[in-house]
Structure 1
Amino acid sequence: MVYDGIALGLLVGLLRGGFRHGLRQFANLKIRGGLWFPLLLLLQFVVFELSDRSPAIAAASGSFFIAVYAAGLYILWLNRSNPGFLFIFAGVLLNFAVMAANGGKMPVSLDAASVLGPYYVDMLKSGTVVTKHFLMDRSTRLSFLGDIIPLSNPYPRTQVISIGDIVMNIGIFLYLQHLMVPGKKDDQDSKSAVVNTSERKGESA
């Protein structure tokens, strides 16, 4: 779901702020510890892949995902002064809470998962899903924070998301709008630059 928020934020940011300004601002993006985010994402993909091949890694994957989320929360907190980052932090924290309460895995509602098709539902029922998801049941803790919200047509991507995903993507969208759309300060700086240029030309004349 995080990719959806980024894609929507970029698209709206480019439309509102202009292609040139938006790309220039996005290229100047600076986040404290930001290089850790792609690394943490890469590590998750590695664990996904190895879990299919190694029962030992699959058994330890829950602890690994908790550690990854904790590291991500720390980096987000360092950037809390940036617009939207408190929303991102809150969304990730909600997902972290439900995963930590359930052994490092995200519970998925059977009813919501039905939009993903019978193959995925059968894997959930049989327990053969070895990534960070498992089928929600009566013993699931904080189930209301799990993946309980189905998305399908007319939404472009069929998926199941959590409340935390929604909160997180609101934050991503707000941050990208702040980053890519000129604000009052940008307008004032542009006007000042024009005035200074005109004054220098007048002095030269």
Structure 2
Amino acid sequence: MVFDGIILSFIVGFLRKGNLKGLAQLNLKWGWMFPLLLAFEIAVFAFQNDFKILGQASNYIYMVIYILGLLFLFLNRNNPGFILILIGVFLNFLVMVINGGRMPVSLTAASVLDPGYIEALKHSLYAKHTALNHSTHLGFLGDIIPITKPYPRTQIISIGDIVMNIGIFIFIQYLMLQRPRTEDKKVITLSFEGGEK
């Protein structure tokens, strides 16, 4: 869902006549951490079912990734939208950490997905996720919201995902619209003053 939010934010930014100048001015504390954590999480998710030891330890690995991600977001909380991103990630982290490091998934919501996914989920073959049941804590924070047609990609998301993507949208709109406009105004002002002299 994160990738969807990023792509949608860029599309809206371009439709609003924004540009990518703000990306060149982006200066985040520990800026290298986000792509590194993302790549590491993707790698674990891709191979956790192929290597038993990785699958067994994946919940602990995900928790470490989340903790480092939360630290990164906290250090950069003054950026527009980052507080919402931080809250969204924390909500996902919270429901996972109190359920053994796995994200609870509603089987009812998951009915929109491929039947093979539901069977794998029931047998805990998707190590990052677990089926939501009567023993799940804070289940309402799990993946319980199905998204299907007309949306181009069928998936299930959590409340945390929604909050996080709102924050991502705000941040990217700021980068594409607010910062470039501010810089342009500075350039115009300086040029005008120079002409006066």
Contact 2:20 2:175 in 1 (8 A): no
Change (3 A) 1:38 1:187: closer
User: What are the residue-to-residue correspondences of 1:1-205 with 2, within 5 Å?
Assistant: 1-18=1-18, 22-129=19-126, 131-182=127-178, 185-186=182-183, 188-199=185-196
Q: Distance in 2 between matches of 1:67 and 1:108?
A: 21
What is the RMSD of the two structures over their aligned residues, measured on CA atoms? 1.7
Contact 1:32 1:75 in 2 (8 A): yes
1:34 is displaced (CA, Å) by 1.7
User: TM-score, normalized by length of structure 2?
Assistant: 0.92
1:54 is displaced (CA, Å) by 2.2
Q: Distance in 2 between matches of 1:36 and 1:195?
A: 41
Q: Distance in 2 between matches of 1:40 and 1:191?
A: 40
1:78 is displaced (CA, Å) by 0.3
Q: Distance in 1 between matches of 2:50 and 2:178?
A: 49
User: TM-score, normalized by length of structure 1?
Assistant: 0.89
Question: What is the number of residues matched between the two proteins?
Answer: 196
Segments ≥4 residues shifted beyond 3 Å: 182-188
Contact 1:17 1:182 in 2 (8 A): no
**Paired-residue identity, %:** 49
Gaps (5+ residues) in structure 2?
none
Instruction: Please give the per-residue CA displacement for 1:18-46, whole angstroms capped at 9, x wherever unaligned.
Output: 3xxx1222233221112111111111122
Q: Distance in 2 between matches of 1:181 and 1:50?
A: 39
Larger CA Rg, structure 1 vs 2: 1
Contact 1:88 1:169 in 2 (8 A): yes
